[in-house]
């Protein structure tokens, strides 16, 4: 199931070789790939360009990660260098070894059938498309996401119950919300999964998780005002303990319902079709980022869990999360605060994160 907003990056044909290659990508071992110009010409596809993003899929067509091209060059087969061969992540120690393995694939019945040329062969002058890429956003599996949501919800409830009820009226970094208002917004946001699962699945191709955060009319002043007012009204109708209990109950219900449902499409309240797992990633974002806001407002240590931090940093930074944290001199909580607009970035820091391929999410009016 591919995405409406991203082209597909297919490595080899479905089967053991693709599974081996995609596993190497997810492990961070594979950062280069080699195709043939003849394949692009046969398929009528334009050559890729640096900066382009695409989604890596497994043999069943499920998304695994979003990659960004960092380099594309046309090179004769005889001129492919050792660095490129090694970075293919398949254990090559020489160009000859790399070439032998690739010739077996390029001379395979599958590729010859795809090209419609049973005698297709490559030689020293065959033009290769040598690509370099990086993983800029990870697409976690359903079990990982559900476990992260459960862990973060439990940590949020425990953190809030440790605060005096009067402190729930403290202002947050999302004015005019108080702690109780922002908690109400977060709880209702997680509850929406149940509402969506009660509806029929949409029929259109789903969008990716980054595309859910498009800076469009969902952040228009009228929509933003309605969101603020709805959260305040919901919170005002409940005591602090009641609100925390309701949030915890909804999170538990969502975790159980999602685990029992399996993968399917859902329609967001904005009308976007999404895979259920991808939508749940956005719910982990809600719990993690708003949880940081609430802890800060209460003067408490952040209760951000490793499971939720993995999901959110994977979405934002892919394999570059460590480099991003080092750039800012930040731990993971501070990294999320910076990436989600809670703490300001200098121009140099923003430029540095851009250079790492950071996936920026729109979460409010620009």
Q: Where are the domains of the chain?
A: 8-138, 142-355
Spatial contact of 273 and 207, defined as CB atoms under 8 Å apart = yes
Length of the chain: 366
Nearest Cα to 311, choosing from 192, 184, 146?
A: 146
Looking from the CA of 222 toward its CB, the CA atoms found within 13 Å total: 1
Class of residue 85 by CB neighbours under 10 A (exposed 0-12, middle 13-18, buried 19+):
buried
Tell me the Ramachandran region of residue 262: left when phi exceeds 0, alpha when psi lies from -120 to 50, beta otherwise.
left
- List of residues 6+ apart from 16 with CB closer than 8 A: none
Q: Which structure tokens are listed for 346? A: 């200098």
**What is the model's pTM?**
0.95
- In the chain, the DSSP E strands lie at 8-9, 32-36, 53-57, 63-76, 127-138, 265-267, 273-275
CATH homologous superfamily of 142-355 equals dinb family like domain (1.20.120.450)
pLDDT at 366: 44
pLDDT at 356: 98
pLDDT at 363: 78
Q: Which residues pair with 273 in a beta bridge?
A: 267
Q: Which contacts qualify for 301-306: CB closer than 8 Å, 24 or more apart?
A: 302/333, 303/155, 303/156, 303/158, 303/159, 304/152, 304/155, 304/332, 304/333, 304/336, 305/148, 305/151, 305/152, 305/155
- Low pLDDT (below 50) residues in the chain: 366
pLDDT at 79: 98
Spatial contact of 315 and 144, defined as CB atoms under 8 Å apart = no
Q: Which structure tokens are listed for 279? A: 């939508």
Cis peptide before 270 (omega within 30 of 0): no
Tell me how crowded residue 313 is: count the other CB atoms within 10 A of its CB. 21
Tell me how crowded residue 82 is: count the other CB atoms within 10 A of its CB. 13
Query: Which three-class secondary structure state does DSSP give residue 69?
Result: strand
Span 8-138 CATH architecture: Roll (3.10)
């Amino acid at each position: 199931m591919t995405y409406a907003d991203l082209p597909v990056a297919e490595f080899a044909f479905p089967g053991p070789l693709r599974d081996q290659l995609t596993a190497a990508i997810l492990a961070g071992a594979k950062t280069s790939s080699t195709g043939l110009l003849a394949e692009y010409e046969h398929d009528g596809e334009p050559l890729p360009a640096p900066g382009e993003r695409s989604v890596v899929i497994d043999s069943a067509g499920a998304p695994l990660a979003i990659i960004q091209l960092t380099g594309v060059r046309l090179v004769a087969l005889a001129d492919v260098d050792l660095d490129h061969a090694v970075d293919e992540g398949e254990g090559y120690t020489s160009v000859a070894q790399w070439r032998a393995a690739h010739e077996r694939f390029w001379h395979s019945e599958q590729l010859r059938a795809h090209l419609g040329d049973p005698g297709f062969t490559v030689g020293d002058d065959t033009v290769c498309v040598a690509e370099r890429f990086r993983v800029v956003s990870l697409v976690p599996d359903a079990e990982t996401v559900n476990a992260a949501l459960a862990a973060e919800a439990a940590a949020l409830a425990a953190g809030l119950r440790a605060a005096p009820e009067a402190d729930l009226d403290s202002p947050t970094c999302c004015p005019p919300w108080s702690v109780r208002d922002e908690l109400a917004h977060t709880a209702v946001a997680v509850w929406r999964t149940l509402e969506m699962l009660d509806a029929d699945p949409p029929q259109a191709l789903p969008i990716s998780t980054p595309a859910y955060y498009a800076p469009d009319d969902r952040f228009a002043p009228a929509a933003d005002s309605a969101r603020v007012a709805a959260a305040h009204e919901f919170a005002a109708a409940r005591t602090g303990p009641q609100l925390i209990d309701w949030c915890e109950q909804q999170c538990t219900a969502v975790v159980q319902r999602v685990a029992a449902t399996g993968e399917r499409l859902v329609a967001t309240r904005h009308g976007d079709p999404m895979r259920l797992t991808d939508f749940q990633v956005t719910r982990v974002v809600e719990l993690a980022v708003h949880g940081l806001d609430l802890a800060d407002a209460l003067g408490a240590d952040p209760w951000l869990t490793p499971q939720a931090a993995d999901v959110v940093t994977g979405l934002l930074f892919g394999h570059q999360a460590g480099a991003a944290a080092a750039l800012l001199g930040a731990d993971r909580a501070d990294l999320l605060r910076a990436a989600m607009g809670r703490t300001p970035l200098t121009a140099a820091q923003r430029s540095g994160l851009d250079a790492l391929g950071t996936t920026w999410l729109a979460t409010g009016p620009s």
